[in-house]
């Protein structure tokens, strides 16, 4: 949901007469992005849990989200070509669903089979960065499609994407700390990934969506409530 706020404001932004009017909307846009990026932020923070230190997790988020922003900008600029390929959206949906099952049910510790601590840590770090980049990009496809359909002002859409990514990085940092406090929050992040993946597939493969978007967002909200319902036991 990380670009939903910008999407809803794009018709308004198209009608403004000056940069001054845009900057008066900026605090509202940033506030909305901080709220609406929560599902993506929890999911991305959960992906960093396998890294050994908070420093590595923060570095992985910085690199992964930056790469994803570049992917977003390329997708926006080439949207007239790339978004015509339904396979991109289908792949993104199945990828998110696979990510849920592989981490919640399979959860095979591939890294443990690696030899050498240094190589193992490097492999794990690069793997997490790649997962962060692809996952955030998959999350953003639906909202970018909506934004491009609403407006042809690519500068404004890219501007919205940048704000969304900055908000996402801020909220991800917050959730990195919360993951150590609430024992169910990591799994709630993967549930959010599953819900967004199903939503993306349904919106792509079925002309008229079976459920309105707010149904999916309510499910994500319930997952978060469950995720915050239990704290880590202190030993």
Nearest to 36 by CA among 213, 228, 226, 231: 213
Our measurement of the distance from residue 123's CA atom to the centroid of its chain's CA atoms, rounded to an integer in Å, reads 23
Give the contacts of 105 (CB within 8 A, at least 6 positions apart): none
Residues 157-211: pLDDT tens digits? 777 778 778 878 888 888 888 888 888 888 888 898 898 888 888 878 876 556 6
CA 133 centroid distance within chain: 9
Structural contact between residues 67 and 36, judged by C-beta atoms closer than 8 angstroms: no
Q: Which two tokens stand for residue 76?
A: 């926006």
Mean pLDDT calculated for residue range 28-33: 55
For the chain, domain boundaries: 4-227
Percent of the chain with pLDDT over 70: 69
Residue 115, pLDDT above cutoff 60: no
pLDDT at 46: 85
Would you state the pLDDT for residue 97?
92
Tokens of 108: 């095979």
Give the model's pLDDT for residue 107.
62
At residue 58, does pLDDT exceed 80? Answer: yes
pLDDT in tens, 197-226: 888 888 788 765 566 777 887 888 898 899
Instruction: Please tell me the least confidently modeled range out of 50-54, 62-66, 149-153.
Output: 149-153
pLDDT for 168 equals: 80
Q: Report which of residues 234 and 156 the model is more confident about.
A: 156
> Against a cut of 0.85, is the pTM above it?
no
Is pLDDT above 50 for 110? no
Per the CB < 8 A criterion, the answer to whether 69 and 144 are in contact is no
More confident residue, 24 or 230: 230
Tell me what the pLDDT averaged over the chain comes to. Answer: 75
């Amino acid at each position: 949901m990380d670009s939903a706020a910008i999407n809803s404001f794009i018709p308004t932004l198209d009608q403004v007469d000056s940069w001054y009017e845009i900057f008066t909307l900026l605090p509202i846009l940033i506030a909305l992005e901080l709220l609406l990026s929560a599902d993506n932020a929890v999911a991305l923070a959960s992906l960093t849990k396998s890294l050994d230190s908070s420093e590595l997790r923060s570095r992985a988020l910085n690199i992964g989200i930056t790469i994803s922003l570049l992917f977003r900008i390329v997708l926006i600029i080439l949207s007239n070509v790339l978004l015509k390929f339904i396979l991109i959206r289908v792949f993104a949906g199945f990828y998110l669903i696979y990510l849920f099952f592989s981490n919640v049910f399979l959860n095979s510790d591939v890294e443990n089979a690696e030899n050498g601590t240094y190589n193992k840590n490097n492999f794990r770090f690069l793997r997490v960065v790649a997962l962060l980049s692809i996952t955030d990009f998959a999350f953003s496809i639906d909202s970018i499609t909506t934004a491009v359909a609403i407006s042809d002002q690519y500068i404004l859409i890219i501007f919205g994407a940048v704000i969304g990514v900055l908000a996402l990085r801020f909220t991800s940092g917050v959730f990195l700390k919360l993951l150590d406090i609430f024992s169910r929050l990591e799994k709630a992040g993967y549930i959010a990934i599953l819900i967004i993946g199903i939503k993306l597939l349904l919106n792509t493969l079925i002309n008229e969506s079976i459920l309105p978007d707010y149904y999916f967002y309510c499910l994500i909200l319930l997952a978060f409530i469950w995720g915050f319902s239990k704290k880590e036991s202190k030993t």
